[in-house]
Structure 1
Amino acid sequence: MKACLDAIRKYFDVRNEAWLNGHASTLRDFLSARRQRILEDSVTAAIDLKRRAVDVRNTPLVRTHTKIKAQPLPRDPQGTAEDRVYLVREHVTWVYQDGLDYCTEARIIWHRQHWRLESDNWCLAEAWESDEISLTPPRLTELVERDVIPGSVPERGVECVKYDRFRAFRYAELWWNGWNPNFPRLRDDCTNFISQCLLAGKVPMKQKSSRAEGWWMEIGSAPEAERWSYSWAVTEAFRQYLIRSLSAKSVRKPEELKIGDVIVYDWDGTGHVHHATVVTDFDDHGDPLVNAHTNPSYHRHYRYLDSRAWTPRTKYQFLHLQDNLC
């Protein structure tokens, strides 16, 4: 087992270097000879997409740092002593040159990796990693560590309040890579997380008896109970609620947004949104940087060009929340 773990650590060391230099081909050396052609696109895709995003932004990447935790998974009954399967949590941080300053982006990526002993070397035979289109498989959800950080349940809003952008920002910074135990963690968690951020910012919760009405969550409810409105956890319903009930303004340019505003994403240009983020910073060009789940992201460039969910048809909607909410 130690030899396999050493191979995993070395793989992620090389992957860390590849983030910086763009040489994703160096990961081929770890691939099983039986599966190399099939695996190559899978293990190099994230590196290639990140380099594309860096080139488009024209914001040089100057440093990367990766931390991993590997957890063995039960062995396949059909497998052999030469097979090992691990769930690996990768926490990767990128540092960019941003004008005369530097900015930091971070992300949590989960990997399910099947390693096989071939000619006395541990080789990667199968690989899966999380992103906006490949969510954590249900059978692995309970194994992914929760990273519970001490915190409290955000206060429920009153009838008419001033949106507290700092509180929403602070919540997004605290929980971007963790899950508040007072809320259910959903497999597709992006909108649930953004709703929590807005609730922390004192956006009034509108409790209704129907899931199709209002914007609400029963604090402490279990995921299987589904005790929340569609607008709380479904991105399209959330977008409609912000516009119709909170009078959120759809602005034309991303630089018109403020900290605590929301961006929603239509990956295939059909008019139906699939993903939501909250603005937590701006880069030197005035572009928003965002925090998000399901794939936990910290100060990620809003365009998501390094996501496999992104397509040339991707459309963004920039939603500016009013300062006074009722």
Structure 2
Amino acid sequence: MEIIRLQIPNNLKKESLPPLSLAIGYFDGVHIGHRTVMLTAKSTAEEKGLKSGVMTFDPSPKAVLGDNPEEVKYITLLNDKIQLIEQLGFDYLFIVPFTRTLANFSPEEFINNYIIQLNVQHLVAGFDYTYGKFGKGTMDNIETYSKGRFSHQTIGKVAKNDLKISSTLIRDLIQKGHVDEVPDYLGRFYSVCGFVIHGKKRGKQLGFPTANLMIHERYILPVNGVYIVRLLVDGKWEEGVASIGYNPTFNEQQTERFIEVHLIDFDRDIYGKPIILEWRKRLRDELKFDVIDKLVEQIGKDKQDAIKYFNR
């Protein structure tokens, strides 16, 4: 897959690209609904003898136009999105920098710059996709701007369990800790990338050594608690239990959230290693223990719950 990072305005010439069938959207999460849009564009490319492409934007429009850009959280960061789209077998991925300048393009300017100029012959988007200043361009009025220069297809609402599959729904499930429900809409368990860092080493002293994780601050994270997880490290998935929260048994001040993972049947030095943490199921709330023995007993129960989960 060729990745092309576009400029504003787009300086690529139509003649430099093959005829394309293009899926367009922000695509946070690359969820089941997004993949329906993408794979429709891909199948059309195969039917019509076109090359296939996806266009996405970075950062989120909310991070540029919203009142609190620092609070914008993502299901997938850009590198995650690139990998997921590449797995679908596309020929091209176009990344458009979302800026206030781009947001001020008229719908016609956007179509001319980023659809016509990229030699797009067929465009696919979701029913709620908008473009141009104030989102005045829609899939309903696209004929006004396409002027017959490319065909287009709108994908309607994709639903499951009587709910519209959307990034908003998935974010809500993650934040509330309902990570076991996420695959119904995301198409996979939710995962985040990070690194193993040095911690206080309390887990080892308690008989349950843990890997302390540093996760990118832009990821959406579940509510505090204890979760069954998997951790990808050194190319292999390991099973375990994760705690996310303030470690109230040891920390009076609740100012910094920690993520620690105890891996089952694992005893290797992985400090500094890149990891992927996959959230499987929430077990319980974060608790404060007045007696350390009670904490050790509870961790043991959490570990057994995880073993039962993976052996089911």
TM > 0.5 = no
Shorter-normalised TM range: under 0.3
Higher-Rg member (1/2)? 2
Alignment TM-score, normalising by the size of structure 1: 0.26
With the length of structure 2 as denominator, give the TM-score of the two structures. 0.26
